[in-house]
Amino acid sequence: MAPNLSLFSVNAILLLSTDDRSRILTKYYSPPHHHHHHQHNTQSGSKDHHHTSNSDDLNPYPTLKEQKAFEKGLLEKTNKGTGDIILYDGRVVCYKMEGDVMMYAVGGPEENEILLFGVVLALRDSLSILLKNSTDKRTLIENYDLVSLAIDEICDDGIILEVDPVIVASRVSRPPPQDVQLKGVDFSEQGVYNLLEIGKNKLAERMRQL
């Protein structure tokens, strides 16, 4: 068997509430080399009717019902831990808990967990920069567009684009009005460079801990 060189590596990125088990924001991806078909589910969720019998062509969870069942099981399986890597439903899942929010990156059965873990950390850290450290459910819902844009910068159609949280945050954040001071974030070049270095060191530390 030739190794799978497909760029498709993320099945889903999920932000779920640990309190009431609701979905805050979920994105499921289909392999782009089969279909340019992008499933985007908001809180209300949209049914996905695009379902063929060839399951290789599609996300493993094509319908809202399957997604909800997967999310419910995943929350039950991970609610004891604050974050790590598990194999669930035959997929590699990396997750981190932030307050009342659980962040997940779901990959295929043979996905590189270091890459997936990079996705979760990028999401957590870029949202932390963008939302001034308040990555709780209410703030995420209030800043839904910002959160959605951040996810799109990290991953597009299942392909990981960027895992540097500083770069993600800088692409997403609009320049603030002149009278608003960004507390504790120096967006000058030196400031961004410093953040970048801190981020790299932290990432290296986390990789060693894995």
pLDDT along the chain (210 residues), means of 10: 56 93 92 46 42 51 93 90 85 91 89 86 94 89 93 91 92 62 55 64 70
What pLDDT is stored for residue 44 in this prediction?
A: 41
Indicate if the alpha-carbon torsion angle 143, 149, 48, 103 is positive or negative. Answer: negative
Q: Report yes or no on whether pTM surpasses 0.95.
A: no
Which residues lie below 8 Å from residue 172, measured CB to CB, with a gap of 6+? 126, 130, 146, 149, 150, 153
What pLDDT is stored for residue 60 in this prediction?
A: 81
What pLDDT is stored for residue 80 in this prediction?
A: 78
Cα distance between residue 15 and residue 87, in whole Å: 18
**All domains of the chain, ordered by start, with CATH?**
10-209 (3.30.450.60)
In the chain, the largest separation of any two C-alpha atoms, in whole Å, equals 60
The type of residue at 2 is A
Among candidate residues 111, 80, 126, the one with its CA nearest the CA of residue 12? 111
What pLDDT is stored for residue 5 in this prediction?
A: 44
What pLDDT is stored for residue 7 in this prediction?
A: 60
Cα distance between residue 197 and residue 210, in whole Å: 20
